[in-house]
Amino acid sequence: MSSSAGNAFYLESGQTRLMIDAGQSGRALTEALEVGSGCQPQELAALFLSHGHRDHVQGAGVMARRYKQLSVYATEGTWGEMEQIVGPICPTQKKTFSVGKIIELGDLKIKPFRVAHDACDPVGFLFSNGEKRLGMVTDSGIFTSEMVKTLYNADCLVLEANHDPDLLWNGSYPWPLKKRVAGTKGHLSNQAAGEALAQIIGPRTRQIVLIHLSRENNQPELALETVKGILEENKACLRKLKIEVAPHDQPSNYITI
């Protein structure tokens, strides 16, 4: 489930079950989790937060207070930024991580890396279980060489394709917001997502999920068409890639990597 209005992702490997971001109400997150994955919230080991914006953390406090087994992982900057939004979380459930330091949880290794976004200490994640790797970037104004290096050749890439520049600039957003979205600490356009993917798709990459599409400034078909066009221009082998768009407000297909 992912859009500018709210983002949450579910990941499981062996016995390890995680939620990444919690940008909906506690009730919507619980329902989506059960419908989309069959996982009960009591089975989740941890919630990882990419940054402190409301569309990523809205339900984090409710989930943590309702499900006491849940460890909530965020950078120090994210903890500070989201305090007001999420309310109190039990200190024993609060975990702080740093960019570049690998976190081991069950059979997963999780590497947080820096992204370019106008939040305090925002990150993307690379998840690995020793066999497969999944890279995720939810919000970033640009795609840096460090991100290319970290994500290259992941088996699955989950990447923001937020807006079409024409729809954004001709749309109804106020001017400062248009500038923010298109800025270097804003959001990746469909074009930018395509160009990023052209650099990070490797021989192992099979699955791509485009996320965080704007309702106002994008269309799923347009995002797909633009990204595929850029990949074709860059001689990526589209036949071996499955590319899909995460729906706005319902759980997407459960993907096995």
Measure the CA–CA gap between 65 and 70, rounded to whole angstroms. 9
Q: How far is Cα 217 from Cα 190, in angstroms, rounded to an integer?
A: 10
Q: Should residue 160 be labelled a site residue for Zn ion when binding is judged by CB under 5 A?
A: no
- Kindly tell me which of 81 and 139 has the beta carbon lying closer to Zn ion: 139
Q: Do 38 and 73 form a contact (C-beta atoms < 8 A)?
A: no
Query: CA torsion sign, 239 to 141 to 6 to 60?
Result: positive
Segment (H or E) for 176: helix 175-182
C-alpha distances (whole Å) from 196 to each of 17, 20, 158, 193 are 28, 22, 12, 5
Q: Which of 139, 208, 223, 245 binds Zn ion (CB under 5 A)?
A: 139
Taking contact as CB under 5 A, which single stretch among the options 61-69, 95-103, 105-113, 139-147 is the one that binds Zn ion? Answer: 139-147
Please, which residue, 93 or 217, has the CB nearer to Zn ion? 217
Q: Residue 111: name the closest of 122, 123, 94 by CA.
A: 123
Question: Please, which residue, 12 or 55, has the CB nearer to Zn ion?
Answer: 55
Three-state secondary-structure class, residue 183 = coil
**Residues of this chain, 43-72, that bind Zn ion according to CB under 5 A:** 53, 55
Interface mask (CB under 5 A) for Zn ion, residues 82-121, using x and -? Answer: ----------------------------------------
Q: Mapping DSSP to helix (H, G, I), strand (E, B) and coil, where does residue 234 land?
A: coil
Q: Is 163 in the site for Zn ion (CB under 5 A)?
A: no
> Cβ of residue 183: shortest distance to Zn ion, in angstroms?
12
Minimum distance of Zn ion from residue 150's CB (angstroms): 19
Nearest distance from C-beta of residue 140 to Zn ion, angstroms = 9
Structure tokens at 121: 């200490």
Find residue 125's DSSP bridge partners.
112, 136
Size of the site for Zn ion (CB under 5 A): 3
Q: Pick out residues in 10-39 that bind Zn ion (CB under 5 A).
A: none
Greatest pairwise CA separation for the chain in angstroms: 51
Residue nearer to Zn ion on the CB measure, 18 or 213: 213
Pick between residue 116 and residue 151 the one whose CB is nearest to Zn ion: 116
Q: Which is nearer to Zn ion, 77 or 106 (CB)?
A: 77
Distance of alpha carbon 144 from alpha carbon 77, whole angstroms: 20
Instruction: Tell whether residue 178 is a contact of Zn ion (CB under 5 A).
Output: no
Q: Which residues bind Zn ion (CB under 5 A)?
A: 53, 55, 139
